[in-house]
Amino acid sequence: MVVVAEIGEHGPRRSAQLTPTFYDTTCPRVFTIVRDTIVNELRSDPRIAASLLRLHFHDCFVNGCDASILLDNTTSFQTEKDAAPNANSARGFPVIDKIKTAVEIACPRTVSCADILTIAAQQSVNLAGGPSWRVPLGRRDSLQAFFDLANNNLPAPFFTLPQLKASFRNVGLDRPSDLVALSGGHTFGKNQCQFILDRLYNFSNTGLPDPTLNTTYLQTLRGLCPRNGNPSVLVDFDVRTPTIFDNKYYVNLKEHKGLIQTDQELFSSPDAADTIPLVRAYADGTQKFFNAFVEAMDRMGKITPLTGSQGQIRQNCRVVNSNSLIQDVVEIVDFVTSM
């Protein structure tokens, strides 16, 4: 029988079909292909590792980890790329295309785009100095995108802590450690000025800056993001080690140097009784953060995956496979072997 992962009252139910050994015999080089492609991209784009991690996050929060974020517009649905949380900010799609092309040459019609995105996130974290872990695999790809769901499910940079907790709880990530550890993905990468301007100049329509911002950091950010400046200018999430995956993000929060509101809310919100101790613990111990991050990534990666005969293995991550005779045969074989 096909085991479908569902979100239960105690978090995402696990799919028995996801296993780290899923491609050991059918595509043993998949991790090497993904890693080599990212290494090559990092030479010209130091941001790409953080961007690929964010793509995985934004995929999983919208109908589960099904590569729906990678689909382009069609006459049947609107792409998630145009949703407010992704438009002009989600990036890395051409890199996923390169990985998919290389994987298709090595192992035709074998590795899903959803699994490629999951592996790319894991490799990106490791290449930036973060932990390595065994990634459960065996996901299949969605046949449609979910524009409205992307607008509704993805947390906004101006969310309060209760709103942030609700968005995580909505997808089954209901533990404080899920929220705090996954937020630690902001230990590398960059953010656009437009997403922090209100914090700097008009927080909650007060005409004043966010009172939780470190005053020295506030002046630094105002210098980088003037009130009438270019809203697309990029600012480092982590002022200490902006390209390294480490625990300095949490050290920054303790000093009130979280870049976006949702970052600082973890430490400064009146509702942060269950997140402040975790921020302190991760700031004091890199390994504690790494362990919590790996566990949270594992839980996020298992949110309602398509498995067995569900979905398909897209040959091009941007489009659903055509209903050719060959594809029909592939789907039938997949269905029979999953029984």
Binding site, annotated residues for substrate: 155
Q: What distances in angstroms separate CA 279 from CA 16, 127, 264, 289, one per listed residue? A: 32, 24, 10, 9
Provide the angle, in degrees to the nearest 10, between the axes of the packed helices 48-60 and 286-301.
50
Active-site choice (10, 56, 58, 256): 58
Nearest to 104 by CA among 305, 326, 322, 313: 313
C-alpha 112/C-alpha 332 separation (Å) is: 17
Binding positions for Ca(2+) are 59, 62, 64, 66, 68, 80, 187, 238, 241, 246
**Is residue 56 among the annotated active site residues?**
no
Q: Tell me the C-alpha distance between 21 and 28, whole Å.
A: 9
Query: What is d(CA 276, CA 278) in angstroms, rounded to the nearest whole number?
Result: 5
- Please tell me the distance from the alpha carbon of residue 99 to that of residue 286, in angstroms, as a whole number: 30
Strand partners, 11: 8
CA distances (Å), 233 to each of 163, 197, 223, in order? 27, 11, 11
Location of structure tokens 């949270």: 296
Q: Which residues are annotated as a binding site?
A: 59, 62, 64, 66, 68, 80, 155, 186-187, 238, 241, 246
* Residues annotated within a binding site for heme b: 186
Q: Which 3 state secondary structure label does DSSP give 327?
A: helix
Distance from C-alpha of 285 to C-alpha of 301, rounded to nearest angstrom: 24
CA atoms of 284 and 302, how far apart (whole Å): 29
Positions marked catalytic: 58
